[in-house]
């Protein structure tokens, strides 16, 4: 049996001016974290019906984000 996975467009119809280089989903699967080549980290809310909405964008890195990991508790 084939499983159908819907495609999710994070940015809508217009491509962003930066490139996503890293992606992470939190353990509760309610937040997506993306890192970009331009050094930005974006947080996205993910609903149970796979609707994505922007939450926060973090600036300050001067190099590309190539890896994302959650901190230990």
Domain membership flag for residue 37: yes
C-beta of residue 37 within 8 angstroms of C-beta of residue 18: yes
Domain membership flag for residue 44: yes
- The Cα 55–Cα 45 span in angstroms is 6
C-beta of residue 31 within 8 angstroms of C-beta of residue 43: yes
C-beta of residue 19 within 8 angstroms of C-beta of residue 46: no
The boundaries of the domain holding residue 45 are 20-58
Query: What pLDDT score was predicted for residue 55?
Result: 85
Average pLDDT rounded to a whole number, residues 53-65 = 86
Q: What is the pTM assigned to this prediction?
A: 0.71
Query: What pLDDT score was predicted for residue 59?
Result: 80
Domain membership flag for residue 51: yes
Query: What pLDDT score was predicted for residue 53?
Result: 83
Q: How many domains does the chain have?
A: 1
C-beta of residue 30 within 8 angstroms of C-beta of residue 53: no
Domain membership flag for residue 24: yes
- The Cα 72–Cα 6 span in angstroms is 32
Domain membership flag for residue 40: yes
Domain membership flag for residue 6: no
Q: pLDDT tens digits for 2-53?
A: 666 555 556 666 656 668 899 999 988 899 999 998 888 888 888 888 888 8
């Amino acid at each position: 049996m084939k499983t159908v996975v819907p495609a999710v467009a994070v940015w809508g119809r217009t491509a962003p001016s930066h490139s996503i280089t890293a992606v992470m989903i939190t353990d509760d699967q309610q937040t997506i974290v993306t890192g970009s080549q331009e050094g930005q980290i974006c947080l996205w809310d993910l609903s149970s019906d796979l609707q994505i909405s922007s939450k926060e964008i973090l600036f300050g890195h001067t190099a590309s984000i190539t890896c994302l990991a959650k901190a230990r508790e």
